[in-house]
Chain A
Amino acid sequence: MTTSAADKAAPLVALTDARMQFGAVRALDGVSLEIRAGECLGLVGHNGAGKSTLVNVVNAGLTPTGGSVSFPASGAPSARGAGVRSVFQELSLCPNLTVAENLKIAHEGLKGLRWRGAARAEIRESLDRVFPGHGIDADAEVDTLSIAQRQMVEIAIGFAPRGQAAQLVILDEPTSSLDGGIAQQLLTHVRRFCEAGGAVIFISHMLGEIFEVASRVIVMKDGKVVADRPAGEFTRKGLVDAMGHVAPEGTGAAAAERRIGVEVVRTPEGLTAREGEIVGLSGLAGHGQAEALARLYLDTASAWRRPGAARMVFVAGDRGRDGVLPLWSILRNVSVSILPEIARRGLLDRTREAAVAKDWKRRIGIRTDDVANPILSLSGGNQQKVLFARALASAAPVVVMDDPMRGVDVGTKQDVYAMIRAEAAKGRTFLWYSTETEEVRQCDRVFVFRDGAISAELTGADITEERILEASFEMQDAG
């Protein structure tokens, strides 16, 4: 009912050809967008489509490398002055402070001796408005609250007046840890908020929720807006199609010439893998894939006494945190996984160690003139090759890979794909978590994760971006 009026009003936020470049990656590739009062904008897209970057450009968390962001309705120079609020996907409360104190962190205007009472009243009022019957104590420390309660507090802070009414609230996966009833309360509030002249950007992988609240839906892919239409003009199927690749690509890895053996891995959540098989873990980032792999790996590898040779090796995606030993040479970084095998009576056999490292330098193509160079002298992609070499050099029959291609260039990727296929043909099993469809296509079988559980198992020709997206997004109605 406010649409006709909203069309004439100046937009709250206007992006003109906004571009954002991170190194070689174009996270945002010329996005023009206007958001007006009374609108609820649903924002969907696959991982890395640029949703978060777009949000961060709107809320001034990032300054675009090209194009402009302005706030015509308020004329304010900054997102803050224009009443733009963000509720982030990862929780951004201070866990050591109380609920009311967290409001104070977000609200500079609370000053004077009586700030505590004012903060308490304001957060209580906001919580009551969004989540009636919430049962959250304004004086409770945040780390005593459940995850859902924390998310509720964060949302309530987003909608709280804080000295100047919120004009545009950005909700990034706001219902990811809320149960159905509470999520419904939020959706109701979002609708009410928009009817009263506010605007909301709503990001969710629950398509049902998008259809329930959004008045307009924007689909992003590869840093571009590929569709921007009123919500009524989309169907669920159409939305998923718009998110995926348009052109069909070749089929998955050629599994035909490989002999798949007996089952070697089975986890309680239903993840299985057979000898010689490349098993993919897919779905939206952060839906429990990395955790499932870590659990699987740590359960077998971190026992007090390791019985005999390792059964599994791990290839880290977060090189800095989980993979590289930064002070060591390339040689030592490769050989660390095989030290027990190449030791003689507890002492290291340096000649064999050097031979193994040299062999792998040649086989996997590590670009260095001397494996004694420090590992940090290599580029990111080559460091990743060293981590692959470390894993493949060991005799372990199962290789667990946690998104191992992050920051790896295309050429290296092709080398590694070939290497993985060759090793699988020799009877090794690979468990491969990846957020990129191209990599998932290399797999024989793919488990799609959603909300920490397996939502689909795809094999062979079924491994398509479309099927993965379907399984990644909730297709039922919310609530």
Chain B
Amino acid sequence: MYVRKKQLYRLFKIIYHIPAEKNNPLQAARDRYCYRVRVDNMRFLKRHASKMLLAAAVLMLAGGLAAGEHNMFFTYAIVICLNCIGIG
């Protein structure tokens, strides 16, 4: 199946510049194939989106900790925020 997809892809690359015509079966097949590839890509992204988000979250947390961000806002959080209470 994979080889066939690859062959089809090569074929469509060759015919890609053929102008669109009504009832052109090659054009329709190309469109169908491109649509399927797009859907497959979207499905792959959707399937792994939560894992990617989790990995990004862990990386950001680690990056923030490494940069010492927690110490920076700790100094801000332990004093009464006059802006927050409306007199700053």
A and B interact physically: no
